[in-house]
Chain A
């Protein structure tokens, strides 16, 4: 057992508890401690990537209980990748928030840290019920974060979001109950062993459970029939919160990759690839829907919220094809799109601050101060999001296109993805040219000078897309190795034989 595995959960937990009790401490002290905690999580995640890169599985068994009897944390390449993705994003969003967005609620940093903790539990856990608990932890924090910032505009989207996710939790529990009633286990490694042995009348029960799980993960990932809550909620959220939420839909994508490759993957006998024939068309329709939404958006934050949905469609289409190359390409694109979309949410906030009463609505308004800086950031983000060379979105999409094997599915994937990217480009060009170029003469009240923390964090998050291009080789090697490790499910089930402290084996 390696005690580093608990660090990405324990650090934000302790930091969050500390913040809870110092709500009345000076804000500079709270900010310093909060940012320190975020940075420590990032350091721990980087250490874990270093550990995971040797390709072996590391297990942390709570209470030294031998899996499958106790709850385990499992570290592999995929979990480590998701941890780094989250903590990099969280650090920059957190730095952005100390520019003033964290005022008005004494517990903002507490909630922010608990949100990070929930995400990290979800990525590390090796137990299906524990995954449910992780979802609840991150959702409880997200409910409150979504409402942060005062005003009444967030009440109704918040209510919808909460009600929908509570129903999602209920369905998750039903699915877990169905699977447990047949297999008698919820440990993912043990499930991967037991699911292929299911036969007879139990088969239908497990299949129904698997499909219900797909519905829950689809709700978290916001695939088409379950995505209408997202644009309103994200567009209304405070900027750093919206940026952090860019990872929330990716939790659903992660859960789909984990569960449907490991448990219901090719080795699952009669239940192999259950639901994936549904997921592929739904992913493509989600992509098209996102593009239509982006074209029709009348303010910048809504446009970017639809971009979240476009990314989900783009990510899930190759995953649903179930090939190793597809998952590897999706993981590469995942890194690029999450950071870019989060950066764009921050850029939209800068635009909204600078334009006075026009806010982030896509209308002509007097020329904004700091126009050059913001427009360059917007251009880099938009180019990467739309998938134009030379930025990382382009490489991600090329890898996804290349991963498809010739056939009707390839034709669908290529045409939808390429046409979709073209229309996304139009949506961004329209928004950008109206916001930055088509200005009218007029006077706006000069906004407060832009704070350094705000501009630096936004610039850094957007700049990561350039960094991904610079390190495209090593990152691609890592995602290819990750996909190879994912599809070698027999190695994962070896964790059941992990020796415990003082055990006989």
Chain B
């Protein structure tokens, strides 16, 4: 179970970081979402993985720690709100700049910009 869990967290985080480094806002938002999923699972695992244990000290030899679940709940709520905000912000960026590049406009390619200058006569 531990191996599977670790692989899932690793895959989510790696995909999240990859998408985060893309130049368009949609992949960036997706990346942030995946990253927050990975983080939530990681936080959940910080209380150790155990099944069929009671969350009460002293009732059994091993107990399942309830605190990380409370932490994860908080993190999920905050992460959800942040995702909603970043989606709206990306849409505003798209509307303002008529482009969904994270810098507002793609970096001008040297050859293209020269051509453009000739075309516009500047």
Contacts and interface: CB of A to CB of B under 8 A. Distances in A.
Nearest to B86: A162
A152 B35 CA distance: 29
Contact of A156 (B40, B75, B86, B104): B104
A173 B37 CA distance: 12
Given A155-B93, A159-B90, A170-B35, A177 B82 contact: no
B103 interface: yes
10 contacts: A152-B97, A156-B104, A158-B89, A163-B20, A166-B32, A170-B39, A176-B43, A176-B71, A180-B71, A181-B45
Interface string B1-42: 000000000000000000010000100100010011011101
Contacts of A174: 39, 42-43
Given A155-B104, A163-B28, A173 B75 contact: yes
A270 interface: no
A166 B82 contact: yes
Contacts of A173: 39-40, 42-43, 75
A298 B97 CA distance: 24
Contacts of B93: 155-156, 159
Interface string B34-70: 0110111011011110000000000000000101100
B89 A133 contact: no
Given A143-B85, A152-B97, A167 B32 contact: yes
B89 A159 contact: yes
The B contact surface, by secondary structure, is: helix
Interface of A: 129, 133, 136, 140, 143, 147, 152, 155-156, 158-160, 162-163, 166-167, 169-170, 173-174, 176-178, 180-181, 184
Contacts of A156: 93, 97, 102-104
Given A155-B97, A155-B104, A162 B85 contact: yes
Nearest to B104: A156
A169 B43 CA distance: 13
Given A143-B89, A162-B85, A173-B75, 7 more contacts: A155-B97, A162-B86, A163-B86, A167-B20, A170-B35, A174-B42, A177-B46
A19 B68 CA distance: 35
Contact of A170 (B36, B65, B92, B104): B36
B74 interface: yes
Contacts of A178: 46
B81 interface: yes
Q: Shortest 7 CB-CB distances between A and B: which pairs?
A: A177-B46, A181-B46, A152-B96, A156-B104, A177-B43, A155-B96, A170-B39
Nearest to B71: A129
A477 B102 CA distance: 49
Nearest to A178: B46
B89 A180 contact: no
A169 B47 CA distance: 20
Contact of A133 (B67, B68, B78, B92): B78
Nearest to A184: B65
Nearest to A161: B89
A121 to B, nearest CB: 14
B68 A180 contact: yes
B63 to A, nearest CB: 11
B46 A166 contact: no
Which one of A159, A176, A178 has the greatest number of beta carbons of chain B within 10 Å? A159
Contacts of B36: 166, 170
Given A160-B102, A174-B39, A166 B97 contact: no
Given A155-B92, A156-B97, A159-B102, A180 B46 contact: yes
A463 to B, nearest CB: 38
A57 B5 CA distance: 42
B35 A167 contact: yes
Contacts of B79: 169
A176 B47 CA distance: 12
Interface string B87-108: 0011011001100001110000
B91 to A, nearest CB: 10
B85 A140 contact: yes
A162 B96 CA distance: 17
A184 B47 CA distance: 8
A180 B97 CA distance: 44
Contacts of A158: 89
A173 B75 CA distance: 8
A181 B39 contact: no
A156 to B, nearest CB: 4
Given A173-B39, A178-B46, A180-B68, A136 B96 contact: no
A323 B20 CA distance: 39
Contacts of A143: 85, 89
B36 to A, nearest CB: 6
A176 B81 CA distance: 20
Contact of B74 (A129, A152, A155, A160): A129
Contact of A169 (B38, B42, B71, B82): B82
Given A155-B97, A160-B102, A176-B71, A181 B25 contact: no
B5 to A, nearest CB: 13
Nearest to B65: A184
Contacts of B35: 166-167, 170
Residue of A133, A147, A162 with highest tally of chain B CB at under 10 A = A162
Contacts of B40: 173
